[in-house]
Structure 1
């Protein structure tokens, strides 16, 4: 019996950095600070989340502007609102994603998403990108009271998809994903084409993906394939 492949979203399935940075910059511009983050140079910051982007921008403006108390809490909802309206302007799937998802499904694997993006935004983005129906479950940052690297969102993603956590693995792009897999007791494959490139190997993942074309064979090795008798 084949198993479950669980995917992170931002930086793993799709490069969302430019639209995330755009949302953060909209908050800075509303305060008269200009676009403080660069969509290319600050891509890694984007994948650490909305609040991380806001703090990075505030730090750059600290010498020029006195921010009011609670600026982060005020701007975070504004960031999410702007992002929700501009969620797929520049965002693109990484090359080979759709082909890999089709092959994984053909091999009998269950597919799921576990992300620290708010669930409603993740749902919208996956539909905008045309791949929502490939996944049997979706767990977002606010689906449960906890988020990654707590293992419970990962376990929930597998179980809601109808899989067994003991026969699953995670595909991600950050240290958070590495820690999530360790906490859940599963293997992790990290992508080597995100903002860090092959430098992500510093986290010693169980596998490093140079491209999505490698993923189906890795899943066959780690999870097996569907028994044709029971297919």
Structure 2
């Protein structure tokens, strides 16, 4: 990086962090956290539903999850931004539509991961649990699901990292997240795009690496540990 390029980053660091009020890196982190929480919750429910459902309901699960996995994230963001206000007859904030779009698409991928983990658990464990008098719900919550989540945790982390990166697509509806702010700064300077966007890459790398390290750290101490 040239010294002048570093100076541009330093002079605009506060703006990159916060934007005018709620934006920049802080908004990227906020949207990422919300999308991770909502997509994980919905994904677990979808995975359980896909595993235990049969007939028409199962076909419906497969169709909806397949549709969400097939469409581009940027198109779903664009659609929800214009569709949700029409459906609910209210002004839905752009940030809300982005989090919603990322959450449902993330849930589709996580749902299939949970389903794969649940069917990988030996059928003997289902039968042994039922023989102890546990209900189907208890078997899923206390025996099958914990093992499935442990096995699929690397897949979860991959999806969470994708969600963090996909927050950069919020520009399509004018959300002032980190990449949008960096583009604004680059458009003003028109001289140091390499330095500015290399800084963007470094920040995303640090965020994603921190998530990976945090999950690995917690995995050694929590209920999904392999120890």
Please indicate, yes or no, whether the TM-score normalized by the shorter chain is above 0.5.
no
Higher strand share: 1
Higher helix share: 2
**Length-normalised TM-score, structure 1:** 0.28
Decide which structure has the larger Cα Rg and report it. 2
**Length-normalised TM-score, structure 2:** 0.28
